Every structure is written in C-alpha cells, then in structure tokens.
Amino acid sequence: MSDYLLVEKKGNTAVVTFNNPPAHTWTAQSLAELRDLVLALNDDKEIYALVLTGGGEKFFSAGADLNVFASGDKAIARDMSDIFGQAFETLSQFRGVSIAAINGYAMGGGLEVALACDIRIAEQHAVMALPEATVGLLPCAGGTQNLAILVGEGWTKRMILCGERLDATKAQTIGLVEDVVASGEGLTSAIELAKKVAKQSPVAVAACKQLVQKNRHMPISEALPQERKAFVDLFDSEDQKEGVQAFLEKRKPVWQNK
C-alpha cells in the first residue's frame, strides 16, 4: 500500500488501483513502487493473478507528467525512461496472470502499462493512444514493441506515427483489448476472469506464460524444444501429481504452487 498504488487482496487476486488524481500520471516514485510491488507479489504464493485499474471513472492512466520533461534535461529523461522500463518489464514478467481493467483514458505510459499486462479489458467509454510524437517524444516503456506484438505493424504505425486515438470498440477489433464491457463493469469483469486463474495450477500457468512470451525473442524452432522440456519438468512438481489425481478422483484440485 502506498499513496500512489492502492492494493487489495481478493482471494488469490491482488487488485491494484492507480491513485494519483486527477489523471493517475506516473512518477519516478510510483513506477518504483509498481516494480517493487510486482516483485513482492512474485514471492506471495497465495497470489495467482494481478488486476490493475484506475481510481474513479475517467482515467485509467494518462501516462507521464510532461512537466517532468519541461526543462529538457537529458539526465531526467534517462532516469525516467529507465524506471519506466524497470516497472513495466517487471510487470510483463510477473509469474501469474496480469489483467488491465481499462476504465477510462489510457494515454502514453498509461496504455503502455496495459500493454505490459497479459490481458486487457476495456470499458466502453475508454480511449487509448500513444501520443508521444505529438510533443516530440516517443513511447519508451515498451510501446513500440508490445503494441506491434498485439496489433501488427500497420496499426502500430497508425497509432504512433499518426497519433490516432482508439475507442474501445476499435481497440477490440484490432486485437488491442480482449474484451469490452459496460462502463463501470471493467474491474468486476477483470476480477471474475482472475478467479478462473485460481482454478489452474500456478506452476503450470507460470511455465505456460514463459513459453508463450518466448516468441518475442526467439524463433519457433528454438521455442518448441523448450516447450517439450517444460512439459517434462512439470512432473517434478506437486501440482502435476495433484492435478492428475484430482481429475481421476473427480474432485477439485488443491494446488500447492510448487
């Protein structure tokens, strides 16, 4: 818990609410706190999923506060880009499932934090953009790479090079978000989805997530052997034994997360 990030645990899900009104802009402190929070949740074996949302009804997050860069100081730019990278790359590597409940404007670094999540749910009034080039900057927290992975090069260029803003319907059409829900229903939908994660083996989920994300940095010819090895390695886990026995005994598994 901090002034910038409000954390509530609901069963096996950690719900994090951005709390820097009015627009929930990022600061060096809040980014460091997000990084440290995710690292702590990685060590919390009771947490299987992480849900991120913005406080209030208008903003998910408006990204960086441009006042920070008004001086044109390159040292400040370097420090901020570094902490942005640390925070969002740590989020991307969270061992469980991360879900962004986009409940309003998600601009710049506000969209990039959603891009670092595994799944995105947008409320119908949400607006998403990477407008950095309109002020002579560029997305430095994974935006140019993570957006392209989700929507392809064409739409990535339209959003970044042309400064296009997308509503929730268009975002779902191009694959930027996986679901669109009514205004005010984003967090509830995200938590319900997170509950499904708890039905899965945490050990298996972590292994699957790592494999899915390998296509970001290695060819499939290298990833496929690692997939087979990871399958065999699961037989060292207690969850594998429990999962198979529970299925055969027609009962719900009790995951040991190891």
Q: Which residues are catalytic?
A: 112, 132
Q: From the CA atom positions of the chain, what is the Rg in Å? A: 19
Residue whose C-alpha is closest to residue 68's, from 102, 106, 103, 30: 30
Structure tokens, 124 = 């119908």
Measured CA to CA, the distance from residue 42 to residue 209 in angstroms comes to 14
Q: Spell out the residues 6+ positions from residue 144 whose beta carbon is closer than 8 angstroms to its own.
A: 138, 156, 160
Measured CA to CA, the distance from residue 76 to residue 237 in angstroms comes to 46
DSSP conformational letter for 56: S
Q: Spell out the residues 6+ positions from residue 45 whose beta carbon is closer than 8 angstroms to its own.
A: 202, 257, 258
